[in-house]
Homo-oligomer: A and B are copies of this chain.
Amino acid sequence: MSTNHYQFNVAMTCSACSGAIERVLNKLKPDVSKLDISLESQTVDVYTTLPYETILEKIQKTGKEVKSGKTL
């Protein structure tokens, strides 16, 4: 399966905010092959074979506000 690159704009205030998202998405390994979370730019970059909706729902279940998302 090919790997997709999704980028989400997520409201994260502190390192525990970004850490929570990292923890949740890391559970999807190895289906998530790479993860790049930036508190500074408020972005979550996910490289995965999983569908966009699956990743979006996982992030939304953290209770964090997903402001936007796109496939790159």
0/1 interface trace, chain A 8-38, chain B, CB 8 Å (1 if under): 0001111111011111100000000000000
Number of contacting residues on A, CB 8 A?
Answer: 17
Copies in the complex: 2
When C-beta atoms are compared, the residue in chain B nearest to A63 turns out to be B20
A sample of 26 inter-chain contacts (CB < 8 A) reads A11-B16, A12-B16, A13-B14, A13-B15, A13-B16, A13-B17, A14-B14, A14-B16, A14-B17, A16-B17, A16-B64, A17-B17, A17-B20, A19-B63, A20-B20, A20-B62, A20-B63, A20-B64, A21-B63, A22-B63, A23-B63, A24-B61, A61-B61, A61-B62, A62-B62, A62-B63
